[in-house]
């Protein structure tokens, strides 16, 4: 467990130091970080969230991790993975440039709405919180355009 936390922290430190030059290598490392979102151990999760915050601040954008998000939401069977992914989305949306948030609004809103129909209450809550942050960031009009077929069943 300590090794996983230290490894995640090391990835974050490398991303902060090397920045955009590290982005090519991160394409292979990001799925591993997302894999650790299924962990129940608090220390590993905090390291995972911290590393992703650093990666998104210095090296990657939300657009770059969209495919990883599609791999987890809503298709994953692991409740913790979905819930922690929604928490990561919520944290990241607050810090992401509004122009990028508007670009990824449609696919992100669709994933979150599908995930909000999950059988687990924790996953639904986390998904709706992330959807609420997206709504605040881009506005109700943008969300209803992006997600019209899901919101008006």
Same domain, 56 and 91: no
Specify the higher pLDDT residue, 75 or 120: 120
In-domain check, residue 107: yes
Q: Both tokens of residue 78? A: 């692991």
pTM above 0.75, yes or no: yes
Closest CA to 62 of 99, 29, 7, 19: 99
Same domain, 91 and 52: no
- In the chain, % helix, strand, coil (3-state, to 5) comes to 80, 0, 20
The mean pLDDT value for 89-93 works out to: 93
Same domain, 106 and 141: yes
Question: Of 12, 28, 60, which residue constitutes the final position of a domain?
Answer: 60
Residue 65 backbone dihedrals phi, psi, to 5 degrees: -100, 5
Same domain, 45 and 85: no
Domain with 6 in it: 1-60
Write down the mean pLDDT value for the chain: 85
What's the number of domains the chain is made of?
2
Same domain, 153 and 84: yes
Which tens digits make up the pLDDT trace of 21-64? 888 888 788 888 888 888 888 888 899 999 999 998 998 888 88
Same domain, 8 and 43: yes
């Amino acid at each position: 467990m300590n090794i996983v936390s230290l490894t995640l922290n090391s990835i974050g430190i490398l991303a902060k130091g090397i920045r955009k030059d590290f982005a090519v290598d991160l394409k292979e490392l990001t799925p591993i970080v997302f894999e650790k979102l299924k962990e129940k151990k608090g220390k590993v999760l905090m390291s995972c969230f911290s590393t992703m915050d650093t990666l998104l601040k210095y090296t990657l954008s939300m657009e770059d991790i969209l495919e990883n998000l599609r791999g987890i939401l809503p298709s994953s069977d692991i409740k913790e993975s979905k819930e922690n992914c929604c928490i990561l989305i919520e944290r990241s949306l607050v810090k992401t440039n509004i122009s990028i948030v508007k670009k990824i609004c449609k696919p992100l809103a669709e994933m979150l709405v599908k995930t909000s129909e999950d059988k687990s209450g924790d996953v639904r809550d986390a998904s709706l919180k992330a959807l609420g942050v997206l709504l605040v960031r881009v506005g109700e009009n943008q969300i209803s355009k992006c997600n019209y077929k899901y919101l008006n069943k």
